[in-house]
Amino acid sequence: MTAVECSATRPAGAPGSAAMRSGVGVRLGLVGLVMLVLMVPMTMLRGLVAERQARAAEVATEIAEASSHAQRLLGPMLLVEYEERRLHVRTVTEGGVEREVSEVKTERRRELVLPDRLRVDNELQTERRGRSLFSTLLVHAVTDLQAAFTLPSTPPPDTRPLRLWLVMGLGDNRGLGSLEVSVGGRTHAPQPGTGVGWLEQGVHVPLPLDLLQQRRLEVAANMTLSGTGSMHWLPAGSETEVHAHGSWPHPGFTGDRLPVSPSVAADGFRAKWSVSRLASQAQQAIVRCGADAPHCPAALDASFGVRLVEPVDRNLMTERAMKYALLVLALVLGAVFVLEVTQRRAVHPVQYGLTGLALAMFFLLLLSLSEHIGFGAAYLVAAGASTALISAYLSALQQGRAGRWIVPLALGALYGLLYGLLQSEDYALLMGSIALFGLLAALMLATRHLDWSRVGATTP
């Protein structure tokens, strides 16, 4: 049999099928290469988002530096300074003979007295302060405070009280607007500074020593206090009860413990904390540190409070959207490839690249527009513009009037799914996995009758 006869006996489609299979592999490789190239502008967009986040944090810090930082209320506490007489015995040697010499030395000692009962009622209002396109939240608190102290009936032996102060610690003195203090039914004027080594910010009230002769001492205070972002309290009393209510509908309860049965509604929130000395280490930590320790982290870490949470942080939402950029690119370019295969229309790598750039422009529009019109409206505008542009560009790949709705409907569903993933943080993994399974199932069912060995036979 001759060579010509041998070639005539081969199946007619065998060589062509190999070439076709090779053509499909090359086109898939080109699509992958286009995706890798498109990750360059996506990476640049991630850097731009990080830059805007850093600028927003910088503005928040600048506003806090110009007004006041986050506030923390500690106290009130009584600071008593004693003069204590102590007998010191030392051994001396004179003429080869050892003998003991006793002498009395006077030392000064300071002691903190904590309240038996402490109740703090807070009414919180919010204010937005901003610079340029960025802003942060300030909290203004009107606070009523009542505390009761039990004083020792007799002073410690060999001691004499010298001075008495009422001390209250703050997070930032600049946020203190007004303060009225009443001790034992009499009003006293507060002074800056605490006199406590580990309390850098706060106030003190000089009190007459004759108050130490009372068995029980009642303290009341009314103050206005402002801070940036959050308000915290420290349970200094043996029984501490803190009430807070405010108009901000998105509170975040933070710190050493959560409130008891908080209520959050569209018009604000209410919260209550009830802490006893048996359930908190705050009192023991304060007693161990005393008044002269330079630091007392164990006491300060026992605070709890409320933080003002931004429900929609546009920069954070854009950053989360960017995490799905590769998935969006893969789905859209994969859909274009399926259209190329099923509609028998050749798509040039440049067309894949331009389609990918249109998707990248969606994220850029989302970031820029959200700084002016909010995240929700910006997402709607950016998604609509991207869908219209890509649909118009790929309209030549779709046959028939009904086929022209495939791309806009698919893109609309994809952007809708992405928005749902961004809004539902708790169920994002579940929603994403179900959606990806559905997309894979739809692709497999749509192409189950496709002869991939003849895909290369499409005509340009």
**CA 43 to chain CA centroid, nearest Å:** 24
Tokens (6 digits) for 229: 């972002």
Mean local confidence (pLDDT), 161-176: 91
Mean local confidence (pLDDT), 150-178: 85
pLDDT of residue 48: 84
Residue 266 has pLDDT above 70, yes or no: yes
Higher pLDDT, 213 or 116: 116
pLDDT tier at 278 (50, 70, 90 boundaries)? confident
pLDDT of residue 455: 58
Mean local confidence (pLDDT), 19-45: 73
Are residues 435 and 418 in contact, defined by beta-carbon separation less than 8 angstroms? no
Residue 405 has pLDDT above 70, yes or no: yes
Q: Which of 233, 246, 12 is nearest to 123 (CA)?
A: 246
Higher pLDDT, 158 or 369: 369
Higher pLDDT, 47 or 104: 47
The CA distance from 370 to 332, in Å, is 24
pLDDT tier at 304 (50, 70, 90 boundaries)? very high
pLDDT of residue 68: 85
pLDDT of residue 18: 44
- How would you write the chain as a 3-class SS string? CCHHHHHHHCCCCHHHHHHHHHHHHHHHHHHHHHHHHHHHHHHHHHHHHHHHHHHHHHHHHHHHHHCCCCEEEEEEEEEEEEEEEEEEEEEEEECCEEEEEEEEEEEEEEEEECCCEEEEEEEEEEEEEEECCEEEEEEEEEEEEEEEEECCCCCCCCEEEEEEEEEEECCCHHHEEEEEEEECCEEECCEECCCCCCCCCEEEEEECHHHHHCCEEEEEEEEEEEEECEEEEECCCCEEEEEEEECCCCEEEEECCCCCCCEEECCEEEEEEEEECCCCCHHHHHHHHCCCCCCCHHHHCCCEEEEECCCCCHHHHHHHHHCCHHHHHHHHHHHHHHHHHHHCECCCHHHHHHHHHHHHHHHHHHHHHHHHHCHHHHHHHHHHHHHHHHHHHCHHHCCHHHHCCHHHHHHHHHHHHHHHHHHCCCCHHHHHHHHHHHHHHHHHHHCCCCCHHHHHHCEC
pLDDT of residue 403: 56
The CA distance from 352 to 350, in Å, is 5
Comparing 12-16, 202-206, 421-425, which segment has the lowest mean pLDDT? Answer: 12-16
Residue 451 has pLDDT above 80, yes or no: no
Tokens (6 digits) for 346: 């050749």
Are residues 150 and 156 in contact, defined by beta-carbon separation less than 8 angstroms? no
pLDDT of residue 4: 38
Residue 50 phi/psi, 5-degree rounding, is -60, -40
pLDDT tier at 2 (50, 70, 90 boundaries)? very low
Residue 44 has pLDDT above 90, yes or no: no
pLDDT of residue 5: 40
Higher pLDDT, 118 or 414: 118
Q: Which residue do the tokens 């600071």 mark?
A: 79
Which residue segments constitute the domains of the chain, with CATH numbers given? Answer: 22-58+315-457 (no CATH), 70-311 (2.60.40)
Mean local confidence (pLDDT), 168-178: 92
Residue 404 has pLDDT above 80, yes or no: no
Q: Which of 335, 355, 459, 454 is nearest to 403 (CA)?
A: 335
Comparing 250-264, 290-304, 404-418, which segment has the lowest mean pLDDT? Answer: 404-418
Higher pLDDT, 281 or 272: 272
Comparing 73-87, 231-245, 384-398, 444-458, which segment has the lowest mean pLDDT? Answer: 444-458
Q: Residues of 387-396 as b/e, b for ≥16 C-beta within 10 angstroms?
A: bebbbeebee
pLDDT of residue 319: 81
pLDDT tier at 343 (50, 70, 90 boundaries)? low
Strand partners, 252: 307
Mean local confidence (pLDDT), 330-351: 76
Q: What average pLDDT does the structure give for the chain?
A: 82
Whole-structure pTM value: 0.71
Tokens (6 digits) for 53: 């986040």
pLDDT of residue 452: 64
